[in-house]
């Protein structure tokens, strides 16, 4: 059951995490931001996520707590959800950065739990499934976001 929940949460996390690309044109129009400015904000979010993942990973090695997984999941989902309601470009930028920070917090901890919950004979299969489901979510996210964006454009 725990592996199932980790896989489902990974699917939805990566769906949410990949929402941003299809809505970039809407953000640039709504806030009169250049595509370059939005791209820089996204790059800052990605850089913060990637540079902090080793820190979160080291923490996962020392203290395996499901709370970090939940915090990363909810930070990502809530941040993406608030992008559409954010009244200023600064708050949109903050939401984008927080989305990436949530993803960075989630992935090392959840991967550590996949390792912890899997037996030696099932580890590679379970990691492959976990990674494949996340990649599927990342591929599905822009389609879902594009569909939703078209409803409100």
Q: Domains in the chain: how many in total?
A: 1
- Domain span holding position 18: 2-152
Q: How far apart are the first and last CA of the chain?
A: 39
| 13-17, 38-42, 89-93, 137-141: segment of lowest average pLDDT | 38-42
The pLDDT, as a whole number, for residue 58 is: 84
CATH number at residue 81: 1.20.1250.20
The pLDDT, as a whole number, for residue 98 is: 93
pLDDT at 1 over 80: no
Write the pLDDT tens digit of every residue in 85-99. Answer: 899 999 999 999 999
């Amino acid at each position: 059951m725990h592996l199932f929940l980790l896989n489902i949460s990974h699917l939805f996390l990566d769906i949410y995490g990949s929402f941003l690309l299809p809505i970039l044109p809407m953000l640039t129009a709504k806030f009169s931001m250049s595509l370059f400015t939005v791209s820089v904000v996204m790059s800052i979010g990605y850089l913060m996520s990637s540079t902090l993942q080793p820190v979160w990973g080291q923490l996962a090695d020392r203290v395996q707590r499901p709370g970090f997984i939940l915090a990363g999941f909810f930070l990502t989902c809530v941040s993406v959800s608030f992008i559409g309601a954010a009244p200023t470009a600064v708050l949109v930028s903050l939401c984008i950065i927080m989305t990436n920070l949530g993803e960075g917090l989630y992935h090392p901890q959840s991967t550590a739990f996949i390792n912890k919950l899997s037996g030696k004979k099932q580890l590679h299969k379970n990691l492959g499934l976990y990674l494949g489901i996340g990649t599927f979510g990342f591929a599905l996210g822009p389609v879902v976001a594009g569909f939703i964006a078209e409803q409100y454009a």
